[in-house]
Amino acid sequence: MEYNPREIEQRWKKWWEENQVYKVSNDSPKPKYYVLDMFPYPSGSGLHVGHPLGYIGSDIYARYKRMKGFNVLHPMGYDAFGLPAEQYAIQTGVHPAKATATNIARYREQLDKIGFSFDWSREVQTCNPKYYKWTQWIFLQLFNHWYDIKAAKARPISELVTIFEKEGVANAQAAGSEPLAFSAAQWVAMSPKEKDDTLMNYRLAFRKTTYVWWCEELGTVLANDEVKDGVSERGGYPVERKPMLQWSLRITAYADRLLTDLDSVDFSDSMKKMQSNWIGR
């Protein structure tokens, strides 16, 4: 019997879509399993070989876990905000919103042709206001909280203000950028600006001046992994180290918790070692 892949693949892809065979319900008696891929940047005219290289492995594993009786959540989305999307729009002269939407449609077409078992009802697009309103919400939570070293958890900044008003900073046990010393009377006597600056020393999201990689041609700050041999990875433009006031997150306050909690997750030993090295303790 002649094998006709074009006819067979089109027929079954249509059936998969119409019957939503990979859609996952939250209400299932089966044990849950979560298979998550890194979302691609939709900043080019289509997928590159590195995308399916990783997705094929995770898709095989997702299918294996389904066959073993698990309720597998295997979503896909698009990391559609940031420098790559902006630069692609600049290079092509097309508005970022239009270029990103076109690229996403192309990526989806190619992913479907490969036949991945994604639950597309869970699709995430980070450029969608319905998504990034929650990243903004998370930032506000971080800004309005401090890390209690003794309790090993975050607490509202209003509680730290109450401690300062009653006891000063001596017994606060708060993770900060630098050690400060002031009494309750000194706190009360501070101006609103001085109080704001003091609290910035303890907030989980805080402003500070740090040295960053600045690329004049791209007009933006670059992460270390976006700089190679003294030039930007994207475009090959010169970069320089410059001091800049920017937002930082007090993730170092969580270092001990991050290390301890590695014991409670089902990661390989090599993955745990990599994570512990990254934490740096």
pLDDT one-digit tens code per residue, 67-125? 999 999 999 999 988 777 777 777 788 888 888 899 899 999 999 999 999 999 999 99
User: Where in the sequence of the chain do the CATH 3.40.50.620 domains occur?
Assistant: 5-126
For the cut 90, the answer to whether the pLDDT of residue 23 exceeds it is yes
- pTM (2 d.p.): 0.81
* pLDDT confidence of residue 41: 86
Of the pLDDT bands very low, low, confident and very high (cuts 50, 70, 90), residue 26 is very high
**3-class SS shares of the chain: helix, strand, coil, % to 5:** 50, 15, 35
Q: Can you say how many angstroms the Cα of residue 3 is from the centroid of all Cα atoms in its chain?
A: 44
User: Cα separations (Å) of 29 from 35, 61, 176, 193, 263?
Assistant: 18, 21, 46, 55, 27
Residue with tokens 């698009």: 78
- Adjacent-strand bridge partners of 154: 147
* pLDDT confidence of residue 45: 75
User: Cα separations (Å) of 11 from 2, 3, 15, 21, 177?
Assistant: 16, 13, 6, 14, 60
- Would you say the C-alpha torsion 141, 147, 153, 158 has a positive or negative sign? negative
Q: What is the rounded CA–CA span in Å between residue 73 and residue 32?
A: 8
- Tell me the CA end-to-end span of the chain in Å, nearest whole number: 63
* pLDDT confidence of residue 93: 87
Q: What is the rounded CA–CA span in Å between residue 143 and residue 202?
A: 9
Asked if 136 contacts 142 with a C-beta cutoff of 8 angstroms, the reply is no
* pLDDT confidence of residue 50: 85
Interval 138-189: pLDDT, tens: 999 999 999 999 999 999 999 999 999 999 999 999 999 999 999 999 999 9
- Quote the DSSP letter at residue 30: S
Q: What is the rounded CA–CA span in Å between residue 205 and residue 251?
A: 9
Superfamily of domain 5-126: HUPs (3.40.50.620)
Residue 81, C-beta contacts closer than 8 angstroms, at least 6 positions apart? 126, 127, 132
